[in-house]
Amino acid sequence: MAKLVTASQFAEPDDAYVTLVQARRGLSDEAAADLDTKLVLILANHIGDLDVLKEAIALAKRAK
């Protein structure tokens, strides 16, 4: 049973996207990768559900 929510949850999806863009604007690839890695850890803990995490990883690995 899928637990991962993939329906849009942000009232303003463009605001969410631009927030992520602004976070990495001007960063080197290295610094952006460091940022993303920390974000993954912070958000994964916020979700706090290993099944959701595994589904998200599977989805990310599939999407090309």
Partner 1 sequence: MAQNERKTIYSYGYKRCADQDAAEPVRRPVVVVGAGPVGLAAAIDLAQRDVPVVLIDDADRIGEGSRGICWSKRTLEICDRLGVGEKLVEQGVTWKLGKVFHGDDLVFAFDLLPEEGHKMPAFINLQQYYLEKALCDRTDEFDNLDLRWRNKLTGIEPRNDHVRLTIETPEGPYRLDADWLIAADGARSSTRDLLGLQFSGVTFEDKFLIADIKMKADFPTERRFWFDPSFHSGQSALMHKQPDNVWRIDLQLGPDADVEAEQEPARVRARIERILGDIPFELEWVSIYRFNCRRLDRFVHGRVVFVGDAAHQVSPFGARGANSGIQDAENLAWKLAAVLRGEAGLSLIDSYERERTQAADENIAHSTRSTDFIAPHSSAERRLRNAVLDLADRTEFARRMINSGRLSVATVYDTTLSTPDEDAFKGSAKLGAPVPDAPMRTPKGEGHLLEHIPGEFTLLYVKNGAPPKVPDGVRLETVGADLSDSDGSFAQRFDATPGAAYLLRPDQHLCARWRHVDAAKITAARDRALGRN
Binding-site ranges for partner 1 (CB under 8 A): 33-34, 37-38, 40-42, 45
Alpha-carbon distance 30 to 51, whole Å? 29
Listing DSSP states for 12-46 in one string gives SHHHHHHHHHHHHTT--HHHHHHHHHHHHHHHHHH
Nearer to partner 1, 16 or 39 (CB): 39
Closest contact distance (angstroms) between CB of 33 and partner 1 is 6
Closest contact distance (angstroms) between CB of 20 and partner 1 is 17
Closest contact distance (angstroms) between CB of 41 and partner 1 is 6
